[in-house]
């Protein structure tokens, strides 16, 4: 049993719910509790630790709020995998960022086709309305676990139209672009928390009102030409962004 019944000290002066929170969190971070492993029931933990149900509920609720657990109504509570950390100070691909952290990236290709740019895509890529662009829709995975869905629109300019090869589960868009002579150099991004639409909820297997992180990005090459406009939706419980800021002088 990963949870240790003698882990709490009633004489320490530290609130019991905080001790229980810290113990479960420590077991998750050390890997003693594996991702998607079910936690003992409230009654079981109440008896195991000799605490009240209110104490157990407070600790579990705080852990769920902080992204360590997920409570399923009528089905119990499970451990969530660690959140993927994305550093927004550097322009790296999903695949490169995952590998840098020791994770295995993957994709499920839902669509790849030539489409005509709508108003939003045309404005983002600075192309004509209805101009042909390449559309790529992918589910993104980390270590085999679904974390995001990405919609990418790649300009047809720079000789790219018709030169984007068929993608598979391990293809990196950045690598494909570099092989075509296009190196991405910078990007503008807008990141916000949203309540997903019904279609997005279905694609990401989300529960009702479960939030996602929305990241809209325009990536530019070394000449400042917009190459890719992407709409990225990350499961909030599995992803977080790290930002380094400096005081203006």
Tell me, what CATH number does 72's domain have? 1.10.10.10
Partner residues linked to 105 by β-bridges: 142
Range in 41-45, 118-122, 239-243 with the lowest mean pLDDT: 239-243
- Specify whether 179 is located in the same domain as 162: yes
- Specify whether 75 is located in the same domain as 92: no
Angstrom distances, CA of residue 245 to CA of 66, 203, 242, 248: 23, 34, 10, 9
In a domain, 184, yes or no: yes
- Specify whether 62 is located in the same domain as 90: no
- Specify whether 71 is located in the same domain as 139: no
- Specify whether 127 is located in the same domain as 223: yes
- Specify whether 59 is located in the same domain as 124: no
For residue 76, the surrounding DSSP H or E stretch is strand 76-79
- Specify whether 223 is located in the same domain as 116: yes
- Specify whether 73 is located in the same domain as 95: no
- Specify whether 70 is located in the same domain as 125: no
Domain boundary among 79, 106, 127: 79
- Specify whether 144 is located in the same domain as 196: yes
Helix (H, G, I), strand (E, B) or coil at 62: helix
- What whole-number distance in Å separates Cα of residue 59 and Cα of residue 66? 11
pTM of the full predicted structure? 0.66
Range in 19-28, 33-42, 71-80, 191-200 with the lowest mean pLDDT: 71-80
- Specify whether 165 is located in the same domain as 182: yes
In a domain, 218, yes or no: yes
Residue 242's Cβ-side half-sphere holds a number of Cα atoms within 13 Å equal to: 8
Read off the pLDDT of residues 181-213 as tens digits, 9 standing for 90 and up.
898 999 998 989 898 999 999 999 888 878 899
In a domain, 57, yes or no: yes
Domain boundary among 79, 103, 134: 79
In a domain, 133, yes or no: yes
Domain boundary among 29, 44, 79: 79
Nearest CA among 139, 97, 104 for reference residue 233: 139
Which of the given ranges, 32-46, 69-83, 97-111, 232-246, has the highest pLDDT on average? 32-46
| Mutual angle of helices 53-65 and 16-29, in 10-degree steps | 50
In a domain, 143, yes or no: yes
Domain count along the chain? 2
- 110 pLDDT above the threshold of 90: yes
Read off the pLDDT of residues 169-180 as tens digits, 9 standing for 90 and up.
778 888 888 888
- Specify whether 113 is located in the same domain as 63: no
- Please state, rounded to an integer, the average pLDDT across all residues of the chain: 85
Q: Distance from first CA to last CA of the chain, Å, rounded?
A: 54
Domain residues for 226?
84-242
């Amino acid at each position: 049993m990963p949870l240790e019944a003698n882990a709490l000290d009633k004489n320490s002066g530290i609130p019991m719910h905080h001790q229980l929170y810290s113990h479960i969190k420590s077991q998750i971070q050390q890997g003693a509790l594996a991702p998607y492993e079910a936690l003992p029931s409230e009654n079981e933990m109440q008896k195991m630790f000799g605490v009240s149900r209110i104490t157990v509920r407070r600790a579990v609720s705080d852990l769920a709020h902080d992204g360590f657990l997920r409570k399923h109504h009528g089905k119990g509570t499970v451990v969530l995998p660690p959140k993927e950390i994305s550093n927004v100070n550097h322009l790296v691909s999903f695949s490169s960022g995952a590998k840098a952290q020791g994770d295995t990236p993957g994709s499920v290709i839902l669509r790849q086709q030539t489409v005509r740019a709508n108003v939003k895509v045309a404005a983002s890529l600075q192309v004509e309305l209805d101009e042909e662009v390449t559309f790529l829709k992918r589910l993104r995975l980390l270590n085999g676990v679904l974390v995001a869905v990405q919609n990418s629109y790649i300009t047809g300019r720079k000789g790219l139209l018709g030169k984007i090869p068929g993608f598979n589960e391990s293809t990196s868009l950045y690598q494909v672009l570099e092989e075509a002579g296009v190196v991405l150099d910078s990007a503008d991004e807008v990141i916000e928390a949203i309540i997903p639409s019904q279609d997005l909820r279905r694609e990401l297997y989300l529960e009702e009102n479960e939030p996602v992180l929305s990241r809209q990005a325009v990536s530019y090459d070394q000449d400042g030409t917009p190459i890719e406009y992407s709409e990225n939706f990350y499961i909030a419980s599995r992803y977080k962004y790290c930002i380094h800021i400096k005081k203006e002088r």
